Amino acid sequence: MSSLSFNERIVLEKYFWMSSGYVLDFSDRTFGEFVEEATGVNIHSEKYQIEGTSKAKKLRAFWKIESDHLVGTLLRKLIDHGANLKMMKTHELKAVEKKCRYILNRLIPGGPGLSPLKDQAKALDANYLLDQIKRIESSIETDPGLAIGTAKELIETCCKTILSDRGKSADETSGITVLMKQVMKELRLVPENIPASVKGSETVRRVLHNLGAITQGLAELRNLYGTGHGKHGKTLPLQPRHAKLAVGAASTLTIFLLDTHLQHKS
């Protein structure tokens, strides 16, 4: 359940033109496609028809049912979409847009930015990778253990995607650290490839060495608190802030690896 206040909903409804049942310029079909792409949610499902079947009423239900992070994820996309519409460029609506972005920043302050990773997944036609990103977005606030477990799997999927795209085989039984070493070697990111003559070479080597430490740390965190392994019945769960840390580290690393792969693809 999101923490949107009554006054915040009024501001958002004004910006999205929801008073007559509509949401911006969307038809039923395009609204469904837009929400599913942004969040992985079927907005037309019965779950969101508790107040009625119009687009506006389904969006209000979504705000009530879903977490701050998932609501914020959709709001960011909707606000960006609205900002690009000619009818929204009046001075009054630009002021409302600014208020909407304040609301957005309250809902997901410092949340991991996964949009660049989505773009990379689409560029590689990696639908499974895209599904993992959406799973992370929808679980950070509601199920931190799932988000942490999926963050570790995200790196594994990234490594296997890169190797496959380069015509290399990946042992399906290999652990995350082995996969990471294989990908770093393939992308020529191993510390040994940095000549001593390069300015700041020691710093670069240290940063590259720490990439492996990130993967090992995420694997250990997932084993202790994430999904994928049975836990002791009295294990205390981690909080969303821990999930944001894990996801932020995994997404930053994954974006770097995919960027390197796409820029130097042979």
Task: Give me the pLDDT at residue 236, please.
Answer: 59
| Residue whose tokens read 């960027």 | 259
Q: How much is the pLDDT for 213? A: 83
Q: Residue 183 and residue 186: Cα distance in Å, rounded?
A: 5
d(CA 140, CA 250): 13
From CA 170, how far away is CA 182, in angstroms rounded? 8
**What percent of the chain lies above the pLDDT cut of 90?**
34
Q: What is the mean pLDDT of residues 243-254?
A: 87
pLDDT at 210 over 90: no
What is the pLDDT at residue 174? 73
- pLDDT (tens digit, 9 = 90+) per residue, 121-141? 888 888 888 888 878 877 777
Q: Is the pLDDT of residue 57 over 60?
A: yes
Do 22 and 104 form a contact (C-beta atoms < 8 A)? Answer: no
**How far is 85 from 15, CA to CA, in rounded Å?**
12
Return the higher-pLDDT residue of 81 and 104.
81
Q: How high does pLDDT run on average in the chain?
A: 85
pLDDT, mean of residues 71-76: 92
pLDDT-derived band at 16 (thresholds 50, 70, 90) equals very high
Rounded-to-integer distance, Cα 257 and Cα 187, Å:
8
Q: Is the pLDDT of residue 192 over 60?
A: yes
Task: State the SS3 of 63-78.
Answer: HHHCCHHHHHHHHHHH
The model's pLDDT over 96-122, given as tens digits with 9 standing for 90+, comes to 999 998 898 788 755 556 777 877 888
Q: Could you give the CA distance from residue 113 to residue 254 in angstroms, rounded to a whole number?
A: 12
pLDDT digits (tens, 9 = 90+) for 148-185: 889 899 999 999 999 999 998 877 777 888 898 899 88
Pick 51 or 143 by higher pLDDT: 51
Please give the pLDDT value at position 61. Answer: 97
Between 128 and 55, the more confident residue is: 55
Task: Flag the least confident range among 29-33, 34-38, 69-73, 220-224.
Answer: 220-224
Gap between the Cα atoms of 266 and 261, Å rounded: 9
| pTM check: above 0.75 | no
| Res 8 pLDDT > 80 | yes
Lowest mean pLDDT among 128-132, 191-195, 250-254: 191-195
pLDDT at 121: 83
